[in-house]
Amino acid sequence: MSASVVYCVDSRNAIESVAGAWSRFAEENGAPELRPEAVLGRPLTEFLAGGALQRLWCLLLDRVREHGRARTLPFRCDSPDARRFMELELRLLDRGRVEHRSRLLRSESRDPVARVHPGARRGEGRVVVCSMCKRIEDPVEGWQEAERALALVGELPPARQPSLDHGLCDGCAASLERAAEA
Ligand SMILES: [Zn+2]
């Protein structure tokens, strides 16, 4: 489960190669649209949800190319029965190419939570999930740990579950900005 997912963008931020656990990851997540042959040559921004994330990611890539120094970003990639704390490293290769390599920092077991599929047809209402840390925005209480929010959503019958939109929470926007500035 812990093998790295690796992908590389060319100097114009199009996906040039994928390696490591990419294929297995696409399969396990039931995402045929992420098969290597389906993603090569496409702009990376197509896979980043929301304008804020796309803008900050492009800024970060510019900085990596400008200064030639690797940057790392924390993110979460949970499975139903584990909290998975991950790190993504962006590293400059030749010809302006930038390698993205994820690795698992640590994993904590938990009681399995219902998996909520972003594409499922749902009832009224929308909730925003942070693309980086997977926390969910509560209009009243702010950004909440995903498993708590998903446990509540998962208990609802499918027809009453809200739709999930991807966004970027304040904390992750700040950590992306910090990584771009560093
Ligand atoms: Zn976040």
User: Which CATH number characterizes residue 168's domain?
Assistant: 3.30.450.20
Ligand 1 centroid – CA 170 distance (Å): 7
Ligand 1 centroid – CA 138 distance (Å): 13
Ligand 1 centroid – CA 111 distance (Å): 22
Residue 100 neighbours by CB under 8 Å, 6+ apart = 6, 7, 8, 9, 88, 89, 90
Ligand 1 centroid – CA 49 distance (Å): 12
Among 13-22, 109-118, 125-134, 162-171, top mean pLDDT goes to 13-22
Ligand 1 centroid – CA 16 distance (Å): 27
What's the pTM?
Answer: 0.82
Can you tell me the mean pLDDT for 1-13? 86
| pLDDT, tens digit, 9 for 90 and up, residues 30-68 | 778 888 889 999 999 999 988 889 999 999 999 999 999
What local confidence, expressed as pLDDT, does residue 164 receive? 78
Ligand 1 centroid – CA 60 distance (Å): 16
Ligand 1 centroid – CA 25 distance (Å): 21
Ligand 1 centroid – CA 56 distance (Å): 13
What local confidence, expressed as pLDDT, does residue 1 receive? 45
Where residue 43 falls (left for φ over 0; alpha for ψ -120 to 50; beta otherwise) is beta
Nearest of 98, 105, 28 to residue 67 by alpha carbon = 98
Task: Provide the pairing of β-strand 142-144 with 82-92.
Answer: unpaired
pLDDT bin (cut points 50, 70, 90) of residue 4 is confident
Environment class of 8 (CB within 10 Å of its CB; exposed 0-12, middle 13-18, buried 19+): middle
Three-class SS string for the chain? CCCCEEEEECCCCEEEEEEECHHHHHHHCCCHHHCHHHHCCCEHHHHCCCHHHHHHHHHHHHHHHHHCCCEEEEEECCECCEEEEEEEEEEECHHHCEEEEEEEEEEEECCCCCCCCCCCCCCCCEEEEECCCCCEEECCCEEECHHHHHHHHHHCCHHHCCEEEEECCHHHHHHHHHHHHC
Give the C-alpha separation, 19 to 166, whole Å.
Answer: 25
Ligand 1 centroid – CA 36 distance (Å): 27
What local confidence, expressed as pLDDT, does residue 138 receive? 80
pLDDT bin (cut points 50, 70, 90) of residue 124 is low
The structural domain count of the chain equals 1
Ligand 1 centroid – CA 95 distance (Å): 31
Can you tell me the mean pLDDT for 1-25? 87
Give the C-alpha separation, 103 to 111, whole Å.
Answer: 23
Give the C-alpha separation, 145 to 136, whole Å.
Answer: 7
Ligand 1 centroid – CA 144 distance (Å): 10
The boundaries of the domain holding residue 137 are: 5-181
Can you tell me the mean pLDDT for 117-131? 69
pLDDT at 111 over 50: yes
Ligand 1 centroid – CA 146 distance (Å): 10
